[in-house]
Amino acid sequence: MKGAYETSVPPAPCQEPPSPALLVGIEEFNRGEFFECHETLEALWMADQRPIRRLYQGILQIGVAFYHLRVGRHRAAVFLLRRGSNYLQPFAPICMNVDVAQLLSAAGHCLAEVERLGSEGVGAFDWSLVPKIEMRD
């Protein structure tokens, strides 16, 4: 079933190597620097008008979800985990060497846990669940 944000993605952009900016954003994400990741990938997203921009937007929104979770904003975290995942779905399993399928799976586990905890229990979130974005050849 297609997500609400899903669009048809030409295969060519997914075959491109990741740009230096995408790699920086992924490194920031993997270090838990979610605000910085957002800034890096937002610039990339705004500069690229091709459909591949949704890949950047999906990654940055999942990162921003964890930023909101860190400061206890349950509702924003749930919303962004869902929306970011919807943006990423057309790019699975791998795009620009990013293991999108792995990120989607891990984000789904985090979403389920955040929903289970609810707004009152969000402080008990297990941060070891936060994914690291993996790259594939």
Read off the CATH number of the domain in which 113 is found: 1.10.3450.10
- Evaluate whether residue 1 is within a structural domain: no
Range of the domain at 81: 20-129
- Evaluate whether residue 88 is within a structural domain: yes
Cβ-proximal residues to 125 (8 Å cutoff; 6+ apart), any chain: 69, 113, 114, 117
Contact 52, 13 (CB under 8 A): yes
- Tens digit of pLDDT for each residue in 24-33? 999 999 999 9
In the chain, how many domains are there? 1
- Evaluate whether residue 122 is within a structural domain: yes
- Tens digit of pLDDT for each residue in 17-71? 999 999 999 999 999 999 999 999 999 999 999 999 999 999 999 999 999 999 9
pTM for this entry: 0.90
